Amino acid sequence: MTLRFADASAPSTPLHLVAQDDLASWKDTLAEQPRGWLERLGFSAAPGEAVLLPDGAGALAVAGFGTPEKRARGRFHLAAAAAKLPAGIYDLVTPLPVDMLEEQALGWLLGGYRFDRYKQGAGGQGAELKAPAGIDAARIEAMAGGEALTRDLINIPANDMGPGELEKAVRDLAGRHEASVAVTCGEALLEQNFPLIHTVGRASSRAPRLIDLRWGDAGPRLTLVGKGVCFDTGGLNLKPASSMGLMKKDMGGAATVLGLASMIMTLGLKLRLRVLIPAVENSVSGSAFRPQDVLISRKGLSVEINNTDAEGRLVLADALALAVEEDPDCLISMATLTGAARVAVGPDLAPFYTTAEPFAAALSASAVRHADPVWRLPFHAPYEAMIEPAVADLDNAPKGGMAGSITAALFLRRFAEGARSYSHFDIYGWQPAAAPARPVGGAGQGARAILGALPEVLGL
């Protein structure tokens, strides 16, 4: 869906953000009629409280919204105002620092997201916001558009978002930005030496594939790899129903790198972008791969399968090996990879791993600036022994249950060896409880933080 600011020339209602300490001074700025209504309505400027004040003719003159004194707790407070205000166009007149203004404007746009593909009579336009003076409106809209794409792709159920439909979504995005797409599908995966992608996806009636998008012909090389497991039953290590219910989101890594790619292409960044998505469905049939199988990867490393439900790292392995062959300046993978990451940091934070200190520093600063929280976890070398079984070079699911996110990241790093800069994000891709600008459902994580870090990391 399109998330845009309102026409700057359209009539609008002034919107004030009011902290409780500032209520008295704000009241003094109001005309007599709105001030009288403010007193009658008992507006206290409590966080999240909204007030609508008419003028003498009964028309809406001013809107006010109570905000916290400090920014430290929560994000996108203005988005909560958008949800409480009637349809119309609003103009934020409260002076704020630019970084805070951009966060609030982005939150307003993200708060307008609706996933109504399967609903009849979906609602119309709600409250709209003019782009506040001083912000980079085009950049904010590009970020909102990329996030909306990510949310849509995750929210669409697996019956309508299999490997073929994911390929179509990539082609649609490429068509909007004059990018190219190449796809290796089905048995051609074996012919082109992508054995792990083929093995994970071969049990499904929907053919596995590797989707390869390219855009840009000058500048540094950035390669994004996204896990595209469109549905994950767990394979022969079948998940219980309680764990399988959200597995339409197991392509959240692919959805997030596509959202990031959309931002990059919309903004016209001067770089050479490549997006690799191994798209599969991990199903159960007579051709499913088995526990104790030993598979040979594109890189030549052998992998012992100790859990068919640890399939995401397998498909990423072949894609990462391909990515390294081109020697990109920056290589990033994103995946809904482990439950261990959620146990460690919860659903809001996206843990990341990196081999490049400059990337870590730039990303951490950008994450704060763009209200897109991340947290660094280590490529802890002593745990390498945990992914080295006696039978093969690597184990896809080490026993013991400890350091699950770290061992998965170490597994992936083996296939990214030789990369100048490699970073991996173990995202959740889902908003489990409604919050300002974040309805329950699919969610991008880390994309805005990466976007903001790229100029420093790649010298753009």
Query: Which residues form the catalytic set?
Result: 239, 313
What is the Cα–Cα distance from 46 to 65, expressed in whole angstroms? 8
Secondary structure of residue 184 in the 3-state scheme: strand
Type and span of the H or E element at 215: strand 209-215
Distant-in-sequence, close-in-space partners of 159: CB < 8 Å, separation ≥ 6: none
Whether 359 contacts 421, CB under 8 Å: yes
What is the Cα–Cα distance from 403 to 386, expressed in whole angstroms? 10
CA dist 413 to 3, 294, 306, Å?
A: 37, 19, 19
Between CA 282 and CA 292, with CA 287 as vertex, the angle to 5 degrees is 80
Measured in whole angstroms, the distance separating CA 41 from the mean position of its chain's CA atoms is 40
What is the Cα–Cα distance from 106 to 91, expressed in whole angstroms? 14
**Buried/exposed code over 146-164 (b: 16+ C-beta within 10 A; e: otherwise):** bbbbbbbbbbbebeebbbe
Between CA 231 and CA 240, with CA 236 as vertex, the angle to 5 degrees is 65
Distant-in-sequence, close-in-space partners of 364: CB < 8 Å, separation ≥ 6: 374, 376
Whether 127 contacts 82, CB under 8 Å: yes
Type and span of the H or E element at 266: helix 252-267
Question: Residue 266: is it exposed, middle or buried by C-beta count within 10 angstroms (0-12/13-18/19+)?
Answer: middle
What is the Cα–Cα distance from 374 to 427, expressed in whole angstroms? 9
Phi, psi of 308 (to 5 degrees): -70, -10
What is the Cα–Cα distance from 335 to 255, expressed in whole angstroms? 9
Whether 107 contacts 436, CB under 8 Å: yes
Type and span of the H or E element at 174: helix 163-177
CA dist 337 to 135, 144, 301, 382, Å?
A: 35, 25, 20, 21
Which two structure tokens, joined as six digits, stand for 61? 């003159």
Secondary structure of residue 262 in the 3-state scheme: helix
